[in-house]
A and B are shown apart, each in its own frame.
Chain A
Amino acid sequence: QVQLVESGGGVVQPGTSLRLSCAASGFKFSNYGMHWVRQAPGKGLEWVAVIWYDGSNKYYADSVKGRFTISRDNSKNTLYLQMNSLRAEDTAVYYCVRVTGSYYNMDVWGQGTTVAVSS
C-alpha cells in the first residue's frame, strides 16, 4: 500500500541543524511532487515547502525561506528537509505529503516526525 515514513526528528538547540527524511513506498515516487507540512503543538497546519517530481522546482514558505532546503533522491525513493538555523518557533510535527492532481493538492500523508528546538 502507499506509505510515507518520516524520520530524523529530535530535540536540538536553537541555531543548530537537522535533516528530516521521508521514505516512500507503494507508488512510483519519481512521478510525484512532494510537500513538507508542519504543525506546532496545539496549533494548525502550516505548509512548509514543495518539490516537483523531478526536483526541478522548489518553493518555500516565507517563514523558512533561506533556512530550509527541500530535496529528493528518486533512486532511493526518499524526500529530505534540511533545516538550518533552527528557532524555537520551528518546533512542530513535520509531515511529508504526496502531491496529487493539479495545483499542488495533497493526498497521502506520513505519520509525522517531531522536532523540538529548545535550549
Chain B
Amino acid sequence: QSALTQPASVSGSPGQSITISCTGTSSDVGGYNYVSWYQQHPGKAPKLMIYEVSNRPSGVSNRFSGSKSGNTASLTISGLQAEDEADYYCSSYTTSSPRVFGTGTKVTVL
C-alpha cells in the first residue's frame, strides 16, 4: 500500500488560513469516509485532530476543520497561530490495509 500524497511544506502568517491536501485513490481516501488527521510536534507523539473526514475530537480547537472531495481530503487551519507549527499527517482506511498514512506536511508559521 503506497503512502497518501501530501505537500512537503505549507506556510502562512499568523491569523491566515492554510489548507493541507491528502491525495489517494478510490481504494482509500475516495472510497471511504475514514480519513483522519494527526498533528505532531518535534519529539512528541502524534495527536488526533480530525477523524472520519470532518469530525473534531473533544478538546481540539474549532480552527481545525476537515473535508473531502473525490480522492483528496483536506485539513484547513484557520486563524493560524504559532503553536500550530508542526508536522501533519493524514491517514485513511484502505481496501488492502487497515490504515495508511500520508507522506506528512511541515507547517511553518511565518
Cross-chain contact B97 with A44 (CB below 8 angstroms): no
Decide yes or no: A109 and B98 within 8 Å by CB, A44-B104, A101-B52, A103-B32 being known contacts. no
SS of B interface (majority): loop
Give the interface residue-count category, chain B.
20 to 34
**Is A45 interfacial (CB 8 A cutoff)?**
yes
In-complex Cβ contact of B89 among A44, A100, A103, A108 (8 A): A44
Bound Cα distance from A110 to B46, whole angstroms: 9
**Is B101 interfacial (CB 8 A cutoff)?**
yes
**Is B109 interfacial (CB 8 A cutoff)?**
no
Cross-chain contact B36 with A106 (CB below 8 angstroms): yes
Decide yes or no: A106 and B97 within 8 Å by CB, A45-B104, A111-B45 being known contacts. no
Bound Cα distance from A62 to B57, whole angstroms: 31
**Is B47 interfacial (CB 8 A cutoff)?**
yes
**Is A25 interfacial (CB 8 A cutoff)?**
no
**Is B18 interfacial (CB 8 A cutoff)?**
no
Cross-chain contact B47 with A109 (CB below 8 angstroms): yes
Cross-chain contact A106 with B99 (CB below 8 angstroms): yes
Nearest-Cβ distance from residue A61 to partner chain B, whole angstroms: 7
Nearest-Cβ distance from residue A62 to partner chain B, whole angstroms: 8
Would you list 21 pairs from A and B whose C-beta atoms are within 8 A, ordered by A residue? A44-B102, A44-B104, A47-B100, A95-B45, A100-B51, A101-B51, A102-B52, A103-B32, A103-B34, A104-B34, A104-B99, A105-B36, A105-B93, A106-B36, A106-B38, A106-B99, A109-B45, A109-B47, A109-B48, A110-B45, A111-B45
Given A44-B103, A102-B52, list of 15 further CB < 8 A pairs? A44-B3, A45-B46, A45-B89, A47-B98, A59-B97, A59-B98, A61-B1, A102-B34, A103-B34, A103-B98, A105-B36, A105-B51, A105-B93, A106-B99, A109-B45
Q: Residues on A close to B: CB < 8 A? A: 35, 37, 44-47, 50, 59, 61-62, 95, 100-112
